[in-house]
Amino acid sequence: MRIETDVLIIGSGIAGLRFAIEVSEFAEVYIVTKKDKAESNTNYAQGGIASVLSPDDDFELHIKDTLSAGDGLCNRDAVELIVREGPGEIQKLIELGTQFSINKSGRLDLAKEGGHSRSRIVHAKDLTGYEVERALLKRISEIKNIHLLENHFAIDLITEHHIGKKRKSSDEKIHCWGAYVFDVKKGEVHTFISKVTLLATGGLGQAYLHTTNPPIATGDGFAMAYRAGALIGNMEFVQFHPTALFESDSENRSTKPAFLISEAVRGFGAKLRLKNGEEFMHKYDPRGELAPRDIVARAIDSELKKSGDSFVYLDLTFKNSDEVKEKFPNIYAKCLEKNIDITRDLIPVIPAAHYACGGVVTDFEGQTTIENLFATGEVAMTGVHGANRLASNSLLEALVFSKNAARACRRVILNHQYNLPEGIPDWIDTSRLTTEEQILISQSRHEIREILWDYVGIVRSNERLNRALRRCKLIYEEVKSMYDESKISEEILELRNLIEVAYLITYSASLRKESRGLHYNIDYPFKDDVNFLKPTLVQNPLI
């Protein structure tokens, strides 16, 4: 099937949906999403959305906190943009029907999280993402010119490459004209031709063995953009959330995410303790439990290495139990299912891969280096997060940049700044094998996740990175031939993307010969502002 539309959006998390609502005012919109429409990182966001809304807060403080977490690599203008536009975006979400938690004075209840000097996290109890996703999807369902297709997996972006046009020089612009999309239920690949395409595919946590990210987070957008020739930046900065619930089956091979114990729990006063009950965070940072995530995750990692234990504890038992249940009903209920009553028992936690600070490089309107390809949300690198993202700045960044990208999209569509070529071919299926090769696919997927966890995790070294690079190259070759021969399936498509992002993360980490923010290499334990106060940029050499 061929579908021609004004705008194609890949992904139905906060970034894709916010953009869709704006552009539907002037364009026909298709949203393709690879699973159920709500299945996204957004849906699981707990803590909330950072925004300056309290009289004791100001924009400069939020900017300062963000820059400080980003450890020298944030773009100040990008940070300023999200901070200043934050309150308007919260207001917009409320107008769209989002119900945030309200305090006793009838105002938005503002929580505190690590790295924030003020209480500024707007939230819906501890189910913020679920509530935002619900409200956005409801609004989308009311808009006639938005068509949302579930179980539609984007395979590749359509560019000059697909019409057999070679670039004369690397200065010549690449254009995006849509995407090939696998209709999972029908087993067919459709050709979507669009004037503007938005990548809103979210993160890549599933590239790691332990992650808070749901199974959809296989880095598809990063990989698609890289294959198409877009500039990609800062892939080494993968954020590990310090407190994912440790379960005895945490060592198994499943793609089931680790349940997150929100940073807001530490913001509420919870303490981290070793197995013997000792507190340890004050040894690492004067801000203790509320230091930025890179510091807390590294502190836990270091204590676990010293003790040989598999987890540390998070302690809420000294807090008022009614208040705990009122503020964190979801965390309370989920832990109770595992026989942990968080008002009485210590919670076993470990760090887990959580967020990609790098991604597809964009300007302040979400435009990538490929003409008419936009990227917003976690897949984008806008300059906001630098070397480490401040808690609860992700949903905010997705909102602000998606709104701004819609403004740029309006210009493209209304001024006819697109040039759809003749002769875009349909997908050619060259597969020979069947799904009997399934075991090879799942083995390779597991290998990738182990390699990244073991060698490209919280603490890195030259030897570990070199080992990871060698293994990634080998798996890349194997996956490439499997992909060329396999019948298209979600599994082979995800594997192809996972090995691509594993390589991008490892290669980018090997280029940064210093330690900064989330990237810590024991062979270069210090920051090197002379040589590395800049993003790590990579681009597909084959395009």
Burial 137-175 (b: 16+ CB within 10 A, else e): eebbeeeebbebbbbbbbbbbbbbbbeeeeeeeeeeebb
226 binds ligand FAD (CB under 6 A): no
Closest CA to 179 of 167, 164, 188, 189: 189
Q: Is 118 a catalytic residue?
A: no
Stretch that binds ligand FAD, among 80-88, 93-101, 392-400, 475-483 (CB under 6 A): 392-400
396 binds ligand SIN (CB under 6 A): no
CA distance 279 to 268: 16
48 binds ligand FAD (CB under 6 A): yes
- 349 — phi, psi (to 5°)? -135, 155
178 binds ligand FAD (CB under 6 A): no
42 binds ligand SIN (CB under 6 A): no
394 binds ligand SIN (CB under 6 A): yes
Nearer to ligand FAD, 32 or 300 (CB): 32
Judge whether 200 and 154 are in contact, CB under 8 Å: no
Nearer to ligand FAD, 96 or 274 (CB): 96
**C-alpha angle 178-184-187 in degrees, rounded to nearest 5:** 95
Judge whether 356 and 236 are in contact, CB under 8 Å: no
Q: Which of 361, 391, 451, 469 binds ligand SIN (CB under 6 A)?
A: 391
Nearer to ligand FAD, 247 or 309 (CB): 247
216 binds ligand FAD (CB under 6 A): yes
47 binds ligand SIN (CB under 6 A): yes
- Say which of 120, 139, 227, 293 is annotated catalytic: 293
Judge whether 509 and 518 are in contact, CB under 8 Å: no
Neighbours of 91 (CB within 10 A): 12
CA distance 468 to 39: 30
The count of residues interacting with ligand FAD (CB under 6 A) is: 43
**3-state class (DSSP) for residue 41:** coil
Applying the rule CB under 6 A, the residues between 117 and 146 that interact with ligand FAD are: 128-129
Residue 423 token pair: 């002769």
Q: How far is CA 404 from CA 19, 60, 89, 296, 367, in A?
A: 9, 22, 11, 33, 10
204 binds ligand SIN (CB under 6 A): no
Q: How far is CA 91 from CA 14, 24, 57, in A?
A: 15, 20, 17
CB of 137 to ligand FAD, least distance (A): 10
Judge whether 474 and 506 are in contact, CB under 8 Å: no
Nearer to ligand FAD, 233 or 515 (CB): 233
Q: Which of 39, 65, 156, 263 binds ligand SIN (CB under 6 A)?
A: 263
CB of 16 to ligand SIN, least distance (A): 19
46 binds ligand SIN (CB under 6 A): yes
> Helix 76-95 and helix 59-70: axis angle, to 10°?
120
CB of 392 to ligand SIN, least distance (A): 4
Binding flags for ligand SIN, 205-244, as an x/- string (CB under 6 A): ----------------------------------------
Q: Which of 220, 236, 301, 514 binds ligand FAD (CB under 6 A)?
A: 220
51 binds ligand FAD (CB under 6 A): no
**Residues of the shown chain interacting with ligand SIN in the complex, contacts defined by CB under 6 A:** 46-47, 262-264, 355, 391-392, 394
